[in-house]
């Protein structure tokens, strides 16, 4: 037992400092060595899930010896033999899953302490230096051993007041995914009401001078958990952190793909699970939908002969997204410029060329060029007689640009060029890969994190044959939809909107909606999301009706 490390951890928590750690699920002890070398305050070696055997566990414990990193082991269940064994081989404490009652927690404490305070048997293993340090270990063990229950069910949350009355427990962890499962939302990290229930329990625990732990899902969630008052903060699970890094690297070379349960690559970038009965409460919207027709947007002359009309942006309350139409007069060129955010350019009509640092792409209607932040680019209308029109999407609600006064040697790119590795992405509409996100609907992706490294938004083109539609759904970001062909019906929580002729709808985060082609002719749209992947949460069709509006 590393009593000094345990005392330092307790001192940090008592001083309202954050103690950062790692959840270890992979067998290599090098992972724990890396955690120790990185200065983490704790690790939890997970013997409940996964495939770690006793040899793996003891190797991880050895990797933390004589360090300032507390090594805890999560046992598979509340079991005297398991708790005794992990403490005998040198764990600094035990993490016990699925604690719901005070009696269960009292048992866990008793199993971890020597008599007369508990029922732990004395073994001649690592904890006692193979029997050479019986008196020293027994004397310090009861004072220092950590017993950490995980509250991961609705019943456990309801009983938190009684759990707090059990002596010998100072840290409580939460398991949001299992908590959601017991609340009827299996497969969700925090289903409706679960986040609120966990935070209410955390406040009760803090009010009693005790501490709360949770594993973050990403860096943003880590910051949010700290703000919420969690102090025993897991940076993540080792496997999840590795996968996150792998996907980021794969995205940089346009190879990122989501995993599936069968370890097969997904068929398309937009997938959806079984419909939810209602959206998560955490996605409750704070703004209404807005539709804008051309002529009613905000216009700005970008340069002589180049006019941008914003149809979605700050003026309608959009967040992380501006979209609209840019019209070029005959023969007009827009000077080179760059942005601190990504831009996606789709030719709607005319003859045009988009240049990116001298690379010239001649475009046909509905070809797209997506330019990551920081790359200088320009555009020109090649026709001397007719205007050219573009659909523009910018990954900011407050767009701005910096003119670039630099000469780039120009070279014509091949008509089948799809851009440059790590740079711009070019989609040639005529030969683009399509997929079907709904009946009688075919989509083409222009931009997303899998196609363009570090892009902050995602979007593409959708063609709906008569009767074509998407299921009722919502997003965790704002969406812009411009109708570029035919007539569309947009249903938002029972409210019906008819759009055509480049009319554009803003669907704010959390609004339940779907588009349907109720006409007898094809309908097409260009859509963009204020998020890097085209992810949607499908809900029951009733949520898109007046009677079933989940936000009433």
> By the 8 A CB rule, do 523 and 517 touch?
yes
> By the 8 A CB rule, do 287 and 508 touch?
yes
Of 383, 370, 371, give the one whose Cα is nearest residue 444. Answer: 370
Please state, in angstroms and rounded to a whole number, the distance separating the CA atoms of residues 431 and 450: 19
Please state, in angstroms and rounded to a whole number, the distance separating the CA atoms of residues 287 and 508: 6
Burial 27-65 (b: 16+ CB within 10 A, else e): bebebbbebbeeebbbbbbbbbeeebeeebbbbbbbbbe
Alpha-carbon radius of gyration of the chain? 29
Sheet holding 473-474, edge to edge: 495-500, 487-492, 513-516, 473-474, 537-538
> By the 8 A CB rule, do 322 and 393 touch?
yes
Reduce the DSSP state of residue 459 to 3 states and report it: strand
> By the 8 A CB rule, do 145 and 92 touch?
yes
Peptide linkage before 209 cis (omega within 30 of 0):
no
Please state, in angstroms and rounded to a whole number, the distance separating the CA atoms of residues 130 and 100: 35
Q: Which two tokens stand for residue 355?
A: 């240049």
Please state, in angstroms and rounded to a whole number, the distance separating the CA atoms of residues 113 and 406: 73
Place of tokens 């704010």: 508
Reduce the DSSP state of residue 70 to 3 states and report it: strand
Please state, in angstroms and rounded to a whole number, the distance separating the CA atoms of residues 68 and 322: 49
Report in angstroms the alpha-carbon separations of 474 from 260, 396, 459, 549: 22, 20, 15, 13
Biggest CA–CA distance in the chain, Å, is: 96
Catalytic residues: 49
Task: Return the ∠ at Cα 330 (arms to 324 and 331), rounded to 5°.
Answer: 105
Please state, in angstroms and rounded to a whole number, the distance separating the CA atoms of residues 403 and 405: 6
């Amino acid at each position: 037992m590393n009593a000094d490390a345990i005392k330092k951890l307790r001192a940090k928590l008592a001083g309202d400092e954050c103690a950062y750690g790692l959840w270890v699920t992979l067998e290599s002890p090098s992972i724990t060595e890396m955690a120790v070398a990185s200065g983490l305050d704790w690790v939890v070696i997970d013997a409940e899930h996964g495939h770690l055997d006793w040899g793996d566990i003891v190797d991880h414990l050895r990797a933390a010896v004589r360090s300032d990193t507390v090594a805890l082991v999560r046992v598979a269940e509340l079991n005297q033999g398991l708790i005794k064994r992990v403490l005998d081989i040198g764990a600094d404490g035990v993490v016990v899953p699925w604690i719901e009652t005070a009696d269960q927690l009292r048992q866990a404490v008793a199993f971890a302490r020597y008599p007369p305070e508990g029922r732990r048997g004395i073994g001649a293993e690592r904890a006692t230096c193979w029997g050479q340090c019986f008196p020293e270990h027994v004397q310090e063990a009861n004072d220092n051993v950590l017993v950490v229950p995980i509250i991961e069910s609705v019943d456990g949350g309801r009983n938190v007041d009684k759990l707090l009355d059990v002596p010998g427990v100072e840290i409580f962890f939460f398991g949001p995914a299992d908590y959601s499962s017991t609340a009827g939302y299996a497969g969700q990290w925090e289903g409706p009401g679960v986040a609120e229930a966990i935070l209410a329990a955390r406040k009760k625990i803090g009010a009693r001078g005790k501490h709360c732990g949770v594993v973050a899902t990403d860096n943003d969630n880590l910051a949010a958990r700290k703000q919420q008052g969690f102090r025993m903060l897991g940076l993540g699970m080792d496997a999840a952190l590795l996968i996150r890094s792998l996907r980021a690297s794969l995205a940089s070379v346009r190879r990122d793909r989501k995993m599936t349960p069968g370890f097969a690559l997904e068929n398309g970038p937009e997938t959806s699970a079984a419909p939810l009965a209602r959206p998560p409460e955490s996605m409750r919207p704070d703004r209404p939908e807005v539709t804008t027709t051309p002529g009613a947007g905000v216009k700005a002359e970008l340069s002589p002969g180049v006019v941008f009309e914003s149809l979605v942006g700050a003026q309608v309350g959009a967040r992380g997204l501006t979209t609209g139409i840019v019209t070029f007069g005959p023969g007009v060129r827009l000077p080179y410029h760059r942005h601190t955010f990504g831009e996606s350019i789709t030719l709607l009509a005319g003859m045009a060329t988009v240049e990116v640092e001298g690379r010239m792409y001649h475009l046909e209607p509905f070809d797209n060029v997506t330019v990551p932040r920081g790359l200088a680019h320009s555009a020109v209308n090649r026709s001397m007689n007719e205007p050219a029109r573009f659909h523009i999407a910018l990954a900011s609600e407050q767009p701005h640009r910096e003119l670039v006064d630099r000469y780039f040697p120009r070279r014509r790119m091949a008509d089948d060029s799809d851009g440059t590795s790590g740079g711009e992405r070019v989609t040639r509409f005529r030969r683009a890969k399509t997929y079907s996100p709904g009946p009688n609907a075919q989509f083409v992706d222009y931009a997303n994190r899998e196609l363009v490294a570090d892009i902050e938004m995602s979007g593409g083109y959708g063609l709906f044959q008569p009767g074509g539609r998407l299921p009722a759904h919502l997003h965790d970001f704002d969406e812009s939809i411009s109708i570029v062909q035919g007539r569309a019906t947009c249903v938002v929580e029972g409210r019906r909107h008819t759009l055509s002729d480049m009319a554009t709808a803003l669907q704010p985060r959390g609004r339940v909606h779907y588009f349907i082609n109720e006409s007898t002719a094809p309908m097409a749209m260009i859509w963009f999301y204020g998020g890097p992947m085209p992810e949607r949460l499908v809900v029951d069709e009733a949520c898109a009706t007046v009677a079933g509006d989940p936000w009433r």
